[in-house]
A and B are shown apart, each in its own frame.
Chain A
Amino acid sequence: MHGRPRKATKQEDPAAAAAKSARLRVLQSQLLHFHHNRIYTKEAVSVSSKLLDINPEIYTGWNYRKLAFQHNLKEVSDTDTDTETIKSAIEDELRMVEVALRRNPKSYGAWYHRKWILGQKLVLANFDHEFRLLDMLLKADARNFHGWNYRRFIARLKDVSEEEELKFTMDMINTNFSNYSAWHNRSMLLSKLLRKKVKGFHEEESILSDEFELVRQALFTDPSDQSGWFYHLWLLDQTSTPHKPHLVSSWPSDKLNIEISAQFKEKCERFPIIFCFNQQVDGVNLATVTVNSKLVSSEHITWKPLSANNSRKSKIWVAFLQNFNKYCDNSEGLSVEISLHCCESIVHLKFLMKLSHMDHQGKNGDGFEELFLWDCPKSQEINPYLVSYDPWRLRVESVEEDAKWHLDTLSAEIALFKEMSECDEDSKFVKLTLARLLGAHNSIKSGGSSYFEEILKLYDDLIKLDAPHFSYYRDERSLVLLDQMTSSKDSLVEYCSRCENTSFSCINPQLCINFSGLNLTRIGFVERLLWVQILDLSHNNLTSILGLEALQLLVCLNLSHNQIMSFTALEPIKSLQSLKVLDLSFNEIGSHPVDTTRYLCSSPLSHTCNVTETMEELARENIKIGDFWEAILLFESLQLAQLDMQGNPVTNERFRVLVEKVIPCLKWLDGKPVR
């Protein structure tokens, strides 16, 4: 099936070709005949040998041989010649496999037959022979993964230590640096040895330093071979990612005074508490989190991970204080203390919720009697949340202590790669690795000089240098830009504005974060924006909004003029129960037959939810739910008051009617009042 030229290099004689086909046809039918009639004589078995020699892919042939092997062994009576007979039978099978492997060294059937025979453990395997066979095959093709997998099997059978196998990978790498398979095996073995803290592998830092030295040689010897670059990325990850998960931010943050608007306190019954970790964690529950307050005792608080499926782990955990508005009445406000004992970190938070009597110019109702407009002028007003804004606030001290070796190693690598990039302007891997190194350094070292401008320039260079992958670089660039914009209150204040007609939410003040028009392709660093209620992301290049699910306080979201391609891409919004205003106008929903987020949302296709009641109801009204399931599942979970969908190919009269059915509390659709 692979690698055969279209025009045959030499014309085969038609008579010879016919004879070859006839022979194969005869052997195949004979095999099936013997197999179905359980005939295991020497002659029958030799037919299978001839057949498998011509075509080792006929799996029924290997099955037949296993049955013949079992049958013929059973026939042998209990005499002293037993082991000889068994040995000889095994030899026959092993020889058959070697014949087949000569024909096709990647034959699944052949390799498994050998494993099956030796796995029976009827006799002690001839390990020398097995390793010699492997050496020969891996010498012919060092990337043959069947060979590597079989080697793992034999090593386990012989109980070879992982350290010895590690030496083998070193031998293979020394023979030829360009051996991804060897580097892969090396990384797996090292990980295991480090994790198990095997003797000689305690000092993770010195082991990693040695590996950096080793991969440096590979990269200098042959910078065009990819293997070294992937290995280096793994080493970088080991050097920059903390092993232990820890809390990176929370809402509310410590020592915060929160103002609750008196006018709407009746409407505001739920108040979210959000924890953001640096990795997916579980174990956030009543046992690990204590909440002290007049309002409620810990038992009435349920912690849930935010995820699109039934995952028990998440980076973001949320709980809600119910009926808190009833307790905010006195002048002292409501004090809440939270202690989190999770993931080897202990964090204490204390915040105060107070009632404020702000004049809302006589507006009543729930605040959506008028259209919400996105014209928010920039504000120089003091934003209490920005005053206390510090993205590094929860930096656990121990992370800084451990970081010395990591920072030193990163600095050394950075110096090296800067040198390399001066010598080789055109190497994308050098530039990309340097950008990653600088980014890793940024993420560990708080404050001080950060490398934002350098990294942004590197990604701009990469977009020109490696055009086919420009989308990847744009995504990385967006993240760096967001990092820069949210790195301090001075940088973030540039993007703040005050919304005029905000009379619907209970937490004051209602400030808008305006990230529009920044060519953003994706979202990041949401842990720094947990307090945001109004967010303008319009006029960007967003195809994904992953991360927004953390912004549990969000009331108004503007995603207009982006490149959202489907309703399933909006899955993160489903968990935003406070969301009232959503602008999706001028995106690409309805113009893409292939949905790239089809399996990243909750749906019957991935067994993460069933066909809902709303869907069944609509089906009864003869609406083809197969055509609209994505929109139905999204909108039925929201309590929107205002929605904009114009400028998307999916939006037509029929669709508008469906939306009004699915969102009964909707007041405004595409700028016009509903009914």
Chain B
Amino acid sequence: MGELAVEKHAQYILSVEKRKDDFESLVMEHLRLNGAYWGLTTLDIMHKLGSVNPDEVVTWILSCQDKESGGFGGNVGHDPHVLYTLSAVQVLALLDRLDAVDVDKVSDYVAGLQKEDGSFAGDIWGEIDTRFSYVAICCLSLLHRLNKINVEKAVDYIVSCKNLDGGFGSIPGGESHAGQIFCCVGALAITGSLHHIDRDLLGWWLCERQCKDGGLNGRPEKLTDVCYSWWVLSSLIMIDRVHWIDKNKLSKFILNCQDLEKGGISDRPDNAVDVFHTYFGVAGLSLMEYPGLKPIDPAYALPVDVVNRIFFQK
């Protein structure tokens, strides 16, 4: 099997951080905070977080915060949204700088997005999606403020999005999709509610995502993609069914998606790389205990030592 080109990928990530003016970067500018999370978490998993200046990162993250609402936008001047608020909290957790924010202000912003039926909107404009349920629950849990929401109703809403194939969709009745499944399983894991899942049924649906090329797809009859190495794999791990896929074949698939010249990992072999797929490829390898990588927590999507620090150190 080929090897993970850790040095190349670290350099690729650091270069993305500097590159802001080409078309590709501009088009992603609105989610730069997500990019920071993907890049920095990947660096930490590869034991390379030291190449980054934490103070600079923290300053920039805080500049993305909307002072009025407490939420974070994807970049400076962009509107607050729960997706970027989670990334901000995750990066601060990674750097052990959660003290840099007013925890109650941020958690009030997130908790305020919960609706009567337990669902969560992404922002004040009201789009509902189980992705936002996960994001809110993960964020509040990391801040030790889960008590600010109605957890029971949040769980009930997620369960209402459970499908007959064992999977979950974005809204009640929505088709099962590995990304949504990760979000729902993660949210149920964090709230101690995995008993709502038929783990054999879902586990089988998930393990059938592995295709002949060894990679995973997101739902039946779709193409394989490295990002599903995270969404499907972490879901399988949380429900203890990861042994139902062939990890060797998946590792080979991920390693084949590396750009060994310029660094980075792409969605499919020989496609263009980006930081999103670089993170998911490395995180997937970490979940499969690839040697030399820090283990990552499947529910919080942060290194295990970071999560343990948050929950076991007073």
Give the interface of A toward B (CB within 8 A): 1-7, 17, 20-21, 24-25, 28, 32, 35-36, 55, 57-60, 62-63, 66, 108, 112, 115-116, 143, 145, 148-149, 152, 178, 180-181, 184-185, 187-188, 191, 225-227, 230, 233-234, 280, 307-311, 313, 467-469, 471-472, 475, 543-544, 569, 592-594, 596-600, 602, 604-608, 611, 615, 625-626, 629
A468 and B245: CB pair below 8 A? yes
Tell me which of B210, B214, B259, B297 contacts A6 (CB under 8 A): B259
B164 and A472: CB pair below 8 A? no
Chain B residues within an 8 Å CB radius of A4:
271-272
CB distance from B13 to the nearest CB of A (A): 15
Q: Would you list the 3 A-B pairs with minimal beta carbon distance, nearest first?
A: A468-B246, A608-B192, A599-B189
Closest to A627 in B: B308
CB distance from A14 to the nearest CB of B (A): 10
CB distance from A227 to the nearest CB of B (A): 6
What are 17 A-B pairs with beta-carbon distances under 8 A?
A: A3-B268, A17-B22, A36-B77, A57-B30, A59-B81, A63-B125, A112-B127, A149-B171, A180-B220, A184-B164, A187-B164, A230-B165, A311-B193, A543-B240, A592-B289, A604-B312, A605-B311
- List B288-308 residues whose CB lies under 8 Å from chain A: 288-289, 295-299, 304, 307-308
**Cα–Cα, bound, A180→B299 (Å):** 28
- List B23-70 residues whose CB lies under 8 Å from chain A: 23, 26-31
Whether B9 sits at the interface, judged by CB under 8 Å, is no
CB distance from A567 to the nearest CB of B (A): 14
Chain B residues within an 8 Å CB radius of A35:
79
Whether B274 sits at the interface, judged by CB under 8 Å, is yes
Q: Which of A17, A20, A230: most chain B CB closer than 10 A?
A: A230
B30 and A1: CB pair below 8 A? no
- List B217-265 residues whose CB lies under 8 Å from chain A: 219-222, 225, 237-240, 242-246, 249, 259
**Cα–Cα, bound, A569→B240 (Å):** 9
Chain B residues within an 8 Å CB radius of A20:
23
Tell me which of B23, B210, B244 contacts A21 (CB under 8 A): B23
**Cα–Cα, bound, A642→B77 (Å):** 63
A21 and B270: CB pair below 8 A? no
B270 and A6: CB pair below 8 A? yes
Tell me which of A2, A55, A227, A472 contacts B225 (CB under 8 A): A2
**Cα–Cα, bound, A380→B260 (Å):** 67
Chain B residues within an 8 Å CB radius of A185:
173, 175
Given contacts A63-B125, A309-B193, whether A469 and B237 have CB atoms under 8 Å apart is no
Tell me which of B195, B237, B286, B304 contacts A309 (CB under 8 A): B195
**Cα–Cα, bound, A235→B214 (Å):** 29
A472 and B204: CB pair below 8 A? yes
Chain B residues within an 8 Å CB radius of A313:
195
**Cα–Cα, bound, A468→B141 (Å):** 36
A225 and B165: CB pair below 8 A? no
B243 and A471: CB pair below 8 A? yes
Whether B111 sits at the interface, judged by CB under 8 Å, is no
B289 and A2: CB pair below 8 A? no
Chain A residues within an 8 Å CB radius of B133:
none
Chain A residues within an 8 Å CB radius of B246:
467-469
